[in-house]
Amino acid sequence: MGSSDLSMILPRVLIVSRRTVRKNKFVDFVGEYHLDLIVSYGAVPVIVPRVTGVHMLLESFEPIHGVLLCEGEDIDPSLYDAELSGFAPEELEEIRALHASDTAIDKEKDTIELRLAKLCLERNIPYLGICRGSQVLNVACGGTLYQDIEKEISKNCSLGQRVVHMNYENYDGHRHLVKVVEGTPLHQWFRDSLEGNKMEIMVNSYHHQGVKKLAQRFVPMAFASDGLIEGFYDPDAYNPQEGKFIMGLQFHPERMRNQDSDNFDYPGCKSAYQEFVKAVIAYEKKLSCSASIPKSVKLDQEIEKKRKVIVRSFSIARNMYSSGGGKVSGQESELQVGAEFLEANTALSLQQENRLKQMGATVRNASTYIERLKMNEERERVARNIIGKMSVGQLSDLISFYHMMGQICSEALEKKLHDLVVSEDISH
């Protein structure tokens, strides 16, 4: 099997890029660790570029077997907290100055990622949210965020409980302690690294925001010392073997590595990606199996509905054609359905042609027939308007004229029928 064949059958994981400025131009990028891990476990990362209008084109990225959303700017607070947490203007300016790269809100990225998150929730598509991606997942389900952890949490904590969640001076090397919740996937992944009964591991941290109110469907998997939720999942949507995986991690397990050797801090660091891709592969197989089963019942119902609409259109046309008139108003839209069907230039079988005739489709150009009915209706309206303006004498003369013409037509018709009967008798 060639490499091109392999890429055709591997499941697809969508990852939205992050935008930055380089040499006065926008550049979209995704961290290499995410891509490496997705590929190493058997899936293909498909990068969704953060460009204007992409949120309207997400159907073009189908089929979607998994979504991984990761780092990025702060989510627009109006999407979850209209009151901006009560910050004073000078506090907001201080936050923006300290976290300049994160506080520049990207509404297009918000729209793209929230739509993808909601799509995953609707279809049960495997979803892994890292850092900002976990916050997107929580907001998509109705949760809220702390807009600045230091000002909303740290100032209310004792010195022993305070946690540094963003350390610019030791960006990749900084770690802080989290307590893992027993019985969760995170506990399962890091079980061998937990010392005694402490249920604690050290994680990296690159954020100044975090989950405030956790959406109702989720269960926490880890807490920082200050009480901040560092991981959560949906227990009803977690079974990687069956293609179920909905999870958010505030820390970055893919970047928890020794700077000298590139080895992971813990063996469990890569488990999030391993189990996520396992779910993606199972979901793709489940999707392929369901797609191979013909949905005959649903298809028959749709065809039957369309057939009834077309039959009604032909029935109305037949009745109007048989009676030689009738008003179009009120039934024009129903007639138009049959007209569009007949004008589709579809090749019909003999059986279909006979069936159409049985339904009264004796006029192939239904649009012309509709226009003729409209014209007759207009002529009748004009005639009534003209006749209404005639005097009594003019109306009497007109009636006499048409009476005389009727007698002449009757005599001519009687003569032609008599001649036809005589000719048939002679031929016999």
Picking from 31, 53, 216, 42, the residue whose alpha carbon sits closest to that of residue 140 is: 216
Cα angle vertex 137, ends 235, 73, to 5°?
150
Determine the 3-state secondary structure of 335 from DSSP.
helix
DSSP code at position 24: T
Residues 61 and 1: their CA atoms lie apart, in Å, by: 25
- Please, is 121 exposed, middle or buried when counting C-beta atoms within 10 Å of its C-beta (0-12, 13-18, 19+)? middle
Distances 379 to 277, 336, 369, 373, 376 between C-alpha atoms, Å: 72, 22, 15, 10, 5
70 is catalytic: no
- Active-site pick, 254, 269, 275, 284: 254
Which residues partner with 223 through β-bridges? 179, 229
What HEC string does 34-68 produce? HHHHHHHCCCEEEEECCCCCHHHCHHHHCCCCEEE
Determine the 3-state secondary structure of 1 from DSSP.
coil
- Active-site pick, 252, 269, 275, 284: 252
Where b means 16+ CB within 10 Å and e means fewer, 12-50 reads bbbbbbbbeeeeeeeeeebeebbbebbeebebbbeebeb
Residues 311 and 6: their CA atoms lie apart, in Å, by: 49
Residues 361 and 245: their CA atoms lie apart, in Å, by: 55
343 is catalytic: no
Residues 43 and 322: their CA atoms lie apart, in Å, by: 64
Q: Element (H or E) spanning 152, and its range?
A: helix 149-152
131 is catalytic: yes
- Active-site pick, 131, 150, 208, 275: 131
Determine the 3-state secondary structure of 349 from DSSP.
coil
Return the active site residues: 131, 252, 254
